Amino acid sequence: EAGVVQSPRYKIIEKKQPVAFWCNPISGHNTLYWYRQNLGQGPELLIRYENEEAVDDSQLPKDRFSAERLKGVDSTLKIQPAELGDSAVYLCASSLESGRARETQYFGPGTRLLVL
C-alpha cells in the first residue's frame, strides 16, 4: 500500500515569492492534515480536512496561507507571499477518520522549505 505522498521534497525560494505544496493521502483516508514543523520542535497543526471540508483551520495564518482539497482526495497548501519565518518542514498526514473513533495518522516525508 502506498503511503502519503508529498511533493516537492525540498523547496528554496526568495522571500515574497509564492510556493505550493502538494499531498496525496493514502487511498480511502477521509481525513487529511497539514502540519508545520519548525527546527527542534514538534509538528503544529495548520488545517484538518474531513473529505473536502476544512473543519479545523484555526492555526492557519489566513493572510498568506491557503489550502484546498478538491474532490476530497489530494490537497494543496499555498503560501503567498512567503516570509523568512515560514522556513520549516511542512508535513501532510492522513487517517481513515478523526472524531470519536480515533484513528492513527500516517505522515508523509514532508516538504522542507527554505525562504531566503
Is 100 near another protein (CB under 8 A)?
yes
Query: What b-and-e string marks burial along 20-59, b requiring 16 or more CB atoms within 10 Å of the CB?
Result: ebebbbbeebbbbbbbbeeeeeebebbbbbbeeebeebee
Is 25 near another protein (CB under 8 A)?
no
Q: Which residue is listed with cell 502519503?
A: 4
Q: Looking at 14-22, 69-77, 80-88, 94-102, which segment touches another protein (CB under 8 A)? A: 94-102
The full DSSP string for 12-48 is EE-TT--EEEEEEPPTT--EEEEEEE-TTS--EEEEE
Is 29 near another protein (CB under 8 A)?
no
Is 22 near another protein (CB under 8 A)?
no
Is 102 near another protein (CB under 8 A)?
yes
Is 61 near another protein (CB under 8 A)?
no
Torsion sign over Cα 91, 77, 26, 93: positive
Out of 41, 51, 68, 80, name the contact with another protein by CB under 8 A. 41
CB nearer another protein, residue 28 or residue 42: 42
Residues that bind another protein (CB under 8 A): 4, 40-45, 48, 56, 91, 93, 98-100, 102, 104-110, 112
